[in-house]
């Protein structure tokens, strides 16, 4: 690792509409914890991460009272309407402590299967990178592009396609500048790499594991539990 410090921001203000339940997906029970607790665990346990800031909804009633095994506690701040607003809120919460050249890891609240080895690989691979980057997995499926009628318009060449994952790791100052530039234009992004790309920069792809899945649909919970129990064994 370089001399720059490392911080973590976790946007967790979403409601998980595709899960179809009353409980936000990051608080659903999973293998003895909630999804969010699993997502935060490798960040809280890593000795290189100075602090973990979680951006939750202002009316979130699920956060208080969550147990944090290991003694280290994440910090709470207010999230926003969209993921990028919550990430920005986390960056603002770090403003008094983080230097412009410090690294920020942004991790999904609903991605509970991050392996410590993948986190280490990301940190080591990007320690001296001029841009930063993200965990990702090469696409192995055949991908189709659909037209407006739901029919195949084209088959895509998968050889240069990757599934983006998190954590995504960028310099504090550059990431904040990228998000604020997009907000000023009235534009939103679905991940931090997209914001960095909007500045004309090219994030590096660091290959991770396919089991670092994001909880999106109800069936993902069973798959995540399978992966977590396998990792523990």
Tens digits of residue pLDDT in 43-85: 999 999 999 999 999 999 999 988 886 678 999 999 999 999 9
Q: What is this structure's pTM?
A: 0.93
In the predicted structure, residue 2 carries a pLDDT above the cut 60: no
Rounded CA separation 30/20 (Å): 17
**Residue 213 resides in a domain:** yes
Query: What residue numbers bound the domain in which 162 lies?
Result: 6-232
**Residue 171 resides in a domain:** yes
In the predicted structure, residue 159 carries a pLDDT above the cut 60: yes
Rounded CA separation 122/183 (Å): 28
**Residue 181 resides in a domain:** yes
pLDDT digits (tens, 9 = 90+) for 99-153: 999 999 999 999 999 999 999 999 999 999 999 999 999 999 999 999 999 999 9
Using a 10 angstrom Cβ sphere, with 0-12 exposed, 13-18 middle and 19 or more buried, the burial of residue 76 is: middle
pLDDT digits (tens, 9 = 90+) for 83-93: 999 999 999 99
What confidence score (pLDDT) does residue 230 get? 85
Q: How many domains does the chain have?
A: 1
CATH number at residue 90: 3.90.550.10
**Residue 200 resides in a domain:** yes
In the predicted structure, residue 228 carries a pLDDT above the cut 70: yes
Instruction: Say if CB 168 and CB 106 are below 8 A apart.
Output: yes
Rounded CA separation 175/52 (Å): 17
**Residue 128 resides in a domain:** yes
> Alpha carbon of 32 to those of 36, 90, 96: distances in Å?
12, 27, 36
What confidence score (pLDDT) does residue 14 get? 80
**Residue 1 resides in a domain:** no
């Amino acid at each position: 690792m370089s001399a720059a410090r490392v911080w973590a921001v976790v946007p967790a203000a979403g409601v998980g509409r595709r899960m179809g339940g009353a409980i936000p997906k990051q608080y659903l029970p999973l293998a003895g914890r909630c999804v969010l607790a699993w997502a935060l665990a490798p960040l809280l346990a890593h000795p290189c991460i100075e602090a973990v800031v979680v951006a939750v909804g202002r009316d979130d009633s699920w956060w208080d009272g969550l147990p944090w095994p290991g003694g280290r506690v994440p910090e709470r701040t207010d999230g926003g309407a969209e993921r990028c607003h919550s990430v920005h809120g986390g960056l603002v919460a770090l403003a008094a402590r983080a230097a412009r050249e410090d690294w920020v890891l942004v991790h999904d609240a609903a991605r509970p299967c991050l392996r410590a080895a993948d986190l280490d690989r990301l940190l080591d691979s990007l320690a001296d990178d001029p841009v930063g980057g993200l965990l990702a997995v090469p696409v192995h499926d055949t991908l189709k592009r659909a037209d407006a009628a739901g029919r195949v318009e084209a088959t895509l060449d998968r050889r240069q396609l990757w599934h983006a994952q998190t954590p995504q790791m960028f310099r504090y100052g550059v990431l904040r500048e990228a998000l604020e530039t997009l907000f000023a234009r009235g534009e939103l992004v679905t991940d931090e790499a997209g914001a960095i790309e909007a500045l004309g920069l090219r994030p590096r792809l660091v290959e991770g594991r396919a089991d670092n899945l994001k909880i999106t649909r109800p069936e993902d919970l069973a798959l995540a539990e399978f992966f977590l129990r396998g990792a523990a064994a």
